[in-house]
Structure 1
Amino acid sequence: MLRPNQRIAWMISFGLIWFGCAGCPAPKPAETSRQNPEKIKSSQESWGAIVLQGEKIGHTMEKIERLTHDQTDYVRTTTVEQMQIQRAGQPLKMAIENVFLSLPDGSLKQFSTKVDQAGSVTRFTGQVARDGKTLSISTQGGSSQGVANDSIPWQPGYGGLHAVYRLFQEPPIEAGQKRSAMALVPTMNRMAKHSIQGQEKEAVSMLDGSMVTLLKTKYLTEIEGQPPLESTAWVDEVGEIVKMTSPVQNFEIYRCSKEFALSPNKAVSFDLALDTIVPVDRMPQRNRDELEELTYEVKLKSGDPAKIFASSSNQKVTAIDANTAKLRVWRIRPDTKLPAELPENDKPTDADLASSPLVQVEDPAVQELLRKAKFSGANATQQVMLLEKFVHDTIEEKNFSQGFLSAAEVAQGKTGDCTEHAVLLMALLRAKGFPARGALGLVYVDYGEKKGFAYHMWTEVWMGDRWLPLDATRGKGGIGVDYIKVTQTDLSGSGAFAAFLPVTQVIGQLEIEVAE
């Protein structure tokens, strides 16, 4: 069966590779215990093809094992998603692996997740406490594979992959039925309410051109603090998903044979970087860097931009209707007076200064770079501007072939795109004592035939009473009004990748124009 919770993992993956991500070998099963061997009672394996523009670009595999250990029954669910796609003309491979161990009723006991980003591996492992009230999660990331530990509140009935599977199959969902369960979202490592609603049967086209009658279902995932995610799944008479759609750029997944799933992928013309550029009407073409303010009108085909785009740092979002908002952006510098209309800045947290598996403040390579930066006689403002330019000059090879590398890996390899510039600048600023975080959004670009807003990541540093935006990919001493922020992140702990979710809900949905 194709697993609906996989669809959120794809969305996070797509978000990562728009800013950076990548590939994996076979997953390691979650361990029940080393003392007594487990007994496998049954094992079921299924395969799927990930399709874009009618061509297979990757595959999924899932295995469901029912086993017994210490006289207790368990269900172990293993999923693998792999794909290859093009970003800025360069091929990128990516994969996510999950191994979840649950009780037959869906209650989660432990899990492991692996995300391989072009050789940079991030691993998450989680264990539910004996009293069922806490899920402890360990995160390993970067070349140093340092470990960070945190936990999230839990309840004994909360589940994982198997809990969502049961919504569709135990018993098979029927038209008019509604079901829901609380379950962990893989990769994001956050709890969500998963709801399905059986709709009507309809004829569905398959990869070979045939038509199959399937039950259409609406699948909704609601994570606290995030806009709800909605997608469509078509199921057969036993509740197995035969076809799914992702709201991101029309990716689809079809149930298929293992032979077809593992067959060579096809190249597609779609480019994640170039073909997602959002055109904009009436964009000023001269002296944009000098503009103090610019107002945009942003519209989403599905969703409310006032609930997705951030009102913070240097921009304010005001709703116009359910799908449209006015977005005012200001050019902020350390010495400029903050506009009265700008929302009060949220203060930095401890995480904005801390080391993490992606922002290794204390890593030797990061510390060595900090020693090379020349701060002699510089005040605080000059220091942050110096670091922005220093990172711009330090990353010698500007390319899109890397995944989302950690700060330590960037410090060692000195290569990457906007994510690598942003994360290294975050680490150096924190190492120097400045609270810093990442900003995710869009920046205006002019590639000749391609003009518009491209998805981008930059850095924000706390300076006295404001978050000051910096962009080490350009190294110009701050940013202008041709940047639009969707959200921000401290990239801390097990939920670091959750910050990319709002961006995935914008991609392929957004229209922008400069307000008159």
Structure 2
Amino acid sequence: MRITMRNLIICIVLLSIAAPALARVPEQTWMSVLLDGRKIGHMLDTRKVSGDQVITTQSMEISIERAGISISFGNEETSTETLAGKPLGFVSRSKISGIESVVRGILRDDGQIDVTTEVGGAKQTRVMPWPKGALLAEGLRLSGARTGLKPGAQFSDLAFQSSSLDAVEVHSLVRDSESVDLPSGRRELVRVEQNIKLPGMASHTQAWVDADQTVYKVIMPLMGFNLTMLACDKSCALAPNQSTDMLTQMLVHAPHALSKDELAHGIKITLQATDNSEPLTITQTDEQRLMDASSGRATLNIMPLLDGMPGSGEDKPIAADFQPTDWLQSTAPEIVKLAKQGVGNAITPADRMHNLQEFVRHFIRNKDLSVGYASALEVAKNPEGDCTEHAVLLAALGRASGIATRVVDGMAYTDHYAGKDNVFVPHAWAQAWIDGRWQSFDAALAGFDAGHIALSVGDGDPWRFYSGLGSLGRIRVSAIAPLVPAP
């Protein structure tokens, strides 16, 4: 159980989307990256004109702590475009605690992209359509330059994210100039508000630029923190990072200890936003029903599914829920072999998933917080990690056994964690399509119970857990009651 690294990864990548949506002519820009005012890393942005092409590279390195354990993350995004900003290709490299993933894309004349991904030693290729109108770094720079910085000016762009292979709309609104404190001193800059429209949520950023539209500062409030980038010189950007433990700030206290009966039979829980920035984004599953939602508040009924119990009517799985992904490599020989071992003699999908849940629980011998985010194949080869590694391996083994699965991002209750009593902690687990409903399985804990709050569901890809990000870090629990009254 831990704060999931992928959530911070997405936030950092979104910061890198905000910067190129404005013009920046300098060939090299260093920036310091801060989390709630504490330095956690740096970013280097380079732009090079080579013949009739523009090559832009954004590289970022950060480190944070989880319960005293340091986690490092590196990301490099390179885009190749024409002088007019037409996309030609891209490369995205990410490394989390030494685990690397690479995405490469080459645009074809017919509007398709040849994509190659490498995750956990497994390489996959595919062809997909380029999102119509999507821009890379130089195209975004040129769009901002054409609009100018007159107060009240607005413009919208479609920014392609090479890490997740999708595009998001970025709407920018130019505000007045103001004096801004920077590492190099105070500077008069124009503030630009940006709204990044992600699936299931919207993220709001503020950027400060000079008359040439060079970006000097970017702030993104997300997950209850302020992520900030500040332009500075190289020595400032590469200065030592400061110790920053996010875990203690992400714990959500329960009003009282949850009883065994409540965890086994269900609870009614009311969640309240800790600020008024955005409504809480809570997903509905066959085990979690949204009973009431108002501005900044959500009331849920959470009940574990027992054998024969109907679900709440969630959509049936689609073909993709059975198939391998870059992070759930269910057809890899190593995964297929483990799935056969884990299933044993079980026949029904329910029995298979229960066996696989128990198998994963014992297979991952080293419960290690230092693993940032590993794919299922990486976990199969090196069985260590925490909740995310248990979830992706279990989901992949389920798919290898012919069962539709998905990965859930949310929070789970524990009576004691990191020196705190009765808290909900960021957590991940798996769901499988069993007897006509989506049923949860948690190999990292003792199994699924009503203490699990689902915020988003996905296919294990760490870049696609947008839904729920706007709620994580902004939640407090105002009330909990048992669904089934005590006798």
1:461 counterpart = 2:432: yes
Secondary structure of 2:360's partner? helix
What is the match of residue 105 of structure 1?
A: 84
Please tell me whether the aligned partners of residues 158 and 170 of structure 2 are also in contact (alpha carbons under 8 angstroms). Answer: yes
Deviation at 1:336? 2.3
Call closer, same or farther: CA 1:194–1:105 in 2, change over 3 Å: farther
Deviation at 1:300? 5.8
What is the match of residue 389 of structure 1?
A: 358
Q: How big is each residue's C-alpha offset from its partner over 1:431-476, in whole Å with a ceiling of 9 and x where there is no partner?
A: 1111111011111122242542211110001112101100000143
Q: How does 1:78-117 map to 2 (within 5 A)?
A: 78-117=57-96
Q: Distance in 2 between matches of 1:430 and 1:103?
A: 42
1:292 to 240, 243, 266: 266
What is the letter of the counterpart of residue 46 of structure 1? Answer: T
Please tell me whether the aligned partners of residues 299 and 510 of structure 1 are also in contact (alpha carbons under 8 angstroms). Answer: yes
Call closer, same or farther: CA 1:450–1:289 in 2, change over 3 Å: closer
Q: Distance in 2 between matches of 1:442 and 1:89?
A: 20
Q: How does 1:362-381 map to 2 (within 5 A)?
A: 362-373=331-342, 375-376=344-345, 379-381=348-350
Deviation at 1:346? 1.2
Deviation at 1:206? 2.5
1:128 to 88, 92, 107: 107
Q: Distance in 1 between matches of 2:470 and 2:300?
A: 17
Number of aligned residue pairs: give it.
461
What is the match of residue 466 of structure 2?
A: 501
What is the letter of the counterpart of residue 273 of structure 1? Answer: L
Secondary structure of 1:385's partner? helix
What is the match of residue 449 of structure 1?
A: 420
Please tell me whether the aligned partners of residues 167 and 196 of structure 1 are also in contact (alpha carbons under 8 angstroms). Answer: no
Deviation at 1:425? 0.6
Q: Distance in 2 between matches of 1:507 and 1:461?
A: 24
Amino-acid identity (%):
22
Q: How does 1:180-329 map to 2 (within 5 A)?
A: 180-207=156-183, 210-223=185-198, 225-248=199-222, 249-266=225-242, 268=243, 270-282=244-256, 284-299=258-273, 301=275, 302-305=277-280, 308-329=281-302
Call closer, same or farther: CA 1:397–1:182 in 2, change over 3 Å: same
Deviation at 1:154? 2.9
Q: Distance in 1 between matches of 2:142 and 2:286?
A: 43
What is the match of residue 27 of structure 1?
A: none
Q: How big is each residue's C-alpha offset from its partner over 1:469-516, in whole Å with a ceiling of 9 and x where there is no partner?
A: 00000143xx1111111111123xxxx334222243223322222256
What is the match of residue 449 of structure 2?
A: 480
Call closer, same or farther: CA 1:506–1:374 in 2, change over 3 Å: closer
Please tell me whether the aligned partners of residues 48 and 254 of structure 1 are also in contact (alpha carbons under 8 angstroms). Answer: yes
What is the match of residue 6 of structure 1?
A: none
What is the match of residue 56 of structure 2?
A: 77
- Structure 1: gaps of 5 or more residues: 1-11, 22-41
Please tell me whether the aligned partners of residues 303 and 449 of structure 2 are also in contact (alpha carbons under 8 angstroms). Answer: yes
Determine which structure has the larger strand proportion and give its number: 2
Q: Distance in 1 between matches of 2:188 and 2:119?
A: 44
Q: Distance in 1 between matches of 2:6 and 2:146?
A: 31
Deviation at 1:358? 1.2
501-510 or 253-262, larger mean C-alpha shift: 501-510
Deviation at 1:404? 1.1
What is the match of residue 38 of structure 1?
A: none
Q: Distance in 2 between matches of 1:134 and 1:503?
A: 31
Q: Distance in 1 between matches of 2:31 and 2:56?
A: 15
Secondary structure of 2:226's partner? coil
Q: Distance in 1 between matches of 2:302 and 2:442?
A: 16
97-106 or 505-514, larger mean C-alpha shift: 505-514
- Structure 2: gaps of 5 or more residues: 14-24, 482-487
Secondary structure of 2:453's partner? strand
Deviation at 1:428? 1.2
What is the letter of the counterpart of residue 74 of structure 1? Answer: Q
Q: How big is each residue's C-alpha offset from its partner over 1:261-304, in whole Å with a ceiling of 9 and x where there is no partner?
A: 123223x2x32333211223345345333223423234363222
Please tell me whether the aligned partners of residues 294 and 328 of structure 1 are also in contact (alpha carbons under 8 angstroms). Answer: yes
What is the match of residue 346 of structure 1?
A: 315
Displaced runs of 4+ in structure 1, greater than 6 A?
none
1:510 counterpart = 2:475: yes
Deviation at 1:401? 0.6
Call closer, same or farther: CA 1:129–1:164 in 2, change over 3 Å: same
104-113 or 288-297, larger mean C-alpha shift: 288-297
TM-score, normalising length: structure 1: 0.83
Call closer, same or farther: CA 1:285–1:169 in 2, change over 3 Å: farther
Deviation at 1:171? 5.9
Q: Distance in 1 between matches of 2:310 and 2:5?
A: 39
Q: In angstroms, what is the RMSD of aligned CA positions?
A: 2.5
Q: Distance in 1 between matches of 2:346 and 2:376?
A: 27
Call closer, same or farther: CA 1:369–1:377 in 2, change over 3 Å: closer
Please tell me whether the aligned partners of residues 63 and 70 of structure 2 are also in contact (alpha carbons under 8 angstroms). Answer: yes
Call closer, same or farther: CA 1:386–1:459 in 2, change over 3 Å: same
Secondary structure of 1:409's partner? helix
Secondary structure of 2:351's partner? helix
What is the match of residue 44 of structure 1?
A: 27
Secondary structure of 1:188's partner? coil
What is the match of residue 128 of structure 2?
A: 151
Secondary structure of 1:246's partner? strand
What is the match of residue 21 of structure 2?
A: none
Secondary structure of 1:372's partner? helix
